[in-house]
Amino acid sequence: MANPEHMEMQQNIENYRTTAGVDSVQLVDREAKAHLESYSTAVKHYEADDFEQAVKHFEKALREYFNEDVECRALCEGPQRFEEYEYLGYKAGLYETIADHYMQVLVCQHECVRELATRPGRLSPFENFLPLHYDYLQFAYYRVGEYVKALECAKAYVLFHADDADMLDNVDYYESLLEDGMDPASVEPREDAAMFVKRHELEAELIKSAAEGLGFSYTEPNYWIRYGGRQDENRVPSGVNVEESEVYGLSVGKKLSSKIDRDLTEGGPLLYENVTFVYNSEQLNGTQRVLLDNVLSEEQCRELHSVARGIMLIGDGYRGKTSPHTPNEKFEGATVLKALKFGYEGRVPLKSARLFYDVSEKARKIVESYFMLNSTLYFSYTHLVCRTALSGETSRCTLHPSPHGSLSEQLSLHCCSALLYMNDDFEGGEFIFTEMDAKTVTASIKPKCGRMISFSSGGENPHGVRAVTRGQRCAVALWFTLDPLYRELERIKADEVIAILDREQQGKRELSVNPKDEL
C-alpha cells in the first residue's frame, strides 16, 4: 500500500494470497488513514469522469483531513527534544526554557502538514497534497454545474499558490459563469482553506521570530510544491482538451527529480510536419523526457518489421546471448551496417535496409532539435531489436543497462537515448521509468507504431521494459553522445556507404571505393 507500483512485492502478495486461499477483499491494510483512503477513492471517481462521486469523496477527505490535523497537533503536546541541542550544556532560565519548549511544540504542529500527506510506510509526502483537494474540486464542481462552489475552490487553491496562472484564469472563467447581478467579489475562498492558510502563515512567522531570539536554526520548508499538480486535460476548464494518449501509470503528485549537471533544455521544434507531441518530462514524472507520436508511418512500420525478420540474429548486440536480460524472452537484433550489408547481398530489399538508416537519422534530428542542443549529436549505438515471448515462462519485469554498460555511469559517453517503436500487436512490453530503487514505477508507456520516447541517459532516468508475455515487440534503440570520440564505428562506415549510394543515385559514378567492398 505504501509502494503500490512495487512489482516484486505485488507478486509476493499474490503468491501469499494464493497459498493462503483467500480473496483480495479479505486482505486489510491495518495502517490505512481514512483521509488518504477517501482521497484515493475520490481520485479514482474523478479519473472515471464520475464527478458527483468525486465531489462527495473529496469533501469527505477534507473533513477527515482537518479532523486528523486536530489529532496530529494534539499529539505534539508532550515532551520535545531538538536533535541539534547539546542538553548536557543546556543552561537556559525558566522563561527561556518554557519558550523553547513551546516553540518545539509549535514546530511539531507545523510539520503536521507533512505528516498528514505521508502514507504509512513512506518517507516522503505527497507534494502539494492539501491544495490538490481544492484543485480537483474546482473542476469537479464545474462539471456538475456548481459554479459558485467551483469559484470558491479555485480561490482557495490560489491562497496556496497566488501566482498560479492557470488557476487565476480559472477564477476569471468561473466568475464569467456567475448569474447576472452576482458580484464575483462576494464569493470568498473556502473558509476551511482560508483559516488553515492564515494559521499556517502566522505559525511560520512566529517560529522564524523565535528562532532568531532563542538561537536555533530554522528554515521554512516549501510545503506546497506545485510539482504535485494534476497532469490531466482538465487543468484549465476553459481551454482545449488534450487528445487522449496511451500513456498509463502517471502518478499524481510525483516530485521531479533533481537537475543534473548537463541539463537538456526542452521544447524545441519537432522539425517534421506529422510528428506530434504527447508528453513532456513533467507529465512523465521526471526530468528531460519526451514522448512523441507519428515519427513513423504505418507503412514504414510494416516495412521495418519485415526487414527485421530478414536481418536479425539471436542476441545480436548483446554478445550473442539469446536472453541477455531475462530468460522469459528471446532477443534478436541488428545494426545499421548489417542491414545495409544484407541489402547489398540481396537478402533483404536495399530500400528497406536504407529505411532503417533514414529513420534513425530522423530520430537523431528530432532529439537534437527538441532538447535544443548547441552541439552536434552523434550516434554511440544504433540497434534494431525484437523481444519475443517464450512459451511456458513466467512473466517478469526486466530493468537492464544498454549494450555498452550502465547509462548512468558514463555521463561523458552517453548524452541521451531514444526508442522508436514499430508495432503493438503483442502483450506486455511496456516501457517504464522507475524511482532509483528500480522497482517503483513512475510512468509506463505502451509502445505502438511510430511512437518515440527520448530521455537523458544519466542516473536521473532509471528505466526498463516489462517482459513480453505474448508475441514479438520490435523497436529501434538509439544511444547518443555529444563527444565525437565515442561515435559508433559501424555508423561511420554506414554513413560512408549511404554517401556512395546517394552519389550513385545522382549519376555520379566516378567512385574510388566499391560500396560492397566498404561493407
Residues annotated as catalytic (active site), given as ranges: 473
Angle at 423 between CA 395 and CA 454, to 5 degrees: 85
Task: Supply 285's cell numbers.
Answer: 514524472
Longest dimension (CA), the chain: 98
| DSSP E strand stretches across 257-362 | 276-279, 289-293, 313-314, 329-334
Evaluate whether 364 touches 379 at the Cβ level (below 8 Å).
Answer: yes
- For the chain, the distance separating the N- and C-terminal CA atoms, rounded to the nearest angstrom, is 56
Q: How far is CA 333 from CA 139, 206, 310, in A?
A: 48, 64, 11
The backbone torsions φ and ψ at residue 74, rounded to the nearest 5 degrees and listed phi first, read -65, -35
Task: Supply 507's cell numbers.
Answer: 549519376
Taken in order 215, 219, 220, 223, the sign of the CA dihedral is: negative
Within 10 angstroms of residue 445's Cβ, the number of other Cβ atoms is 26
Distance in angstroms (rounded) separating the CA atoms of residues 502 and 508: 9
Q: How far is CA 377 from CA 329, 364, 404, 414, 462, in A?
A: 32, 7, 18, 10, 22
What DSSP designation does 33 have? -
Go through the chain and tell me how many residues it has. Answer: 519
Evaluate whether 29 touches 1 at the Cβ level (below 8 Å).
Answer: yes
**Quick one: which of 278, 286, 301, 465 has its CA closest to 366?**
278
Evaluate whether 473 touches 430 at the Cβ level (below 8 Å).
Answer: no
**Quick one: which of 337, 339, 357 has its CA closest to 347?**
339
Distance in angstroms (rounded) separating the CA atoms of residues 398 and 402: 12
List Cβ<8 Å contacts ≥24 apart for 264-270.
264/288, 264/371, 264/372, 264/373, 264/415, 264/416, 264/456, 265/371, 265/372, 266/290, 266/370, 266/371, 266/372, 267/370, 267/372, 268/369, 268/370, 268/371, 268/372, 269/369, 269/370, 270/366, 270/369, 270/370
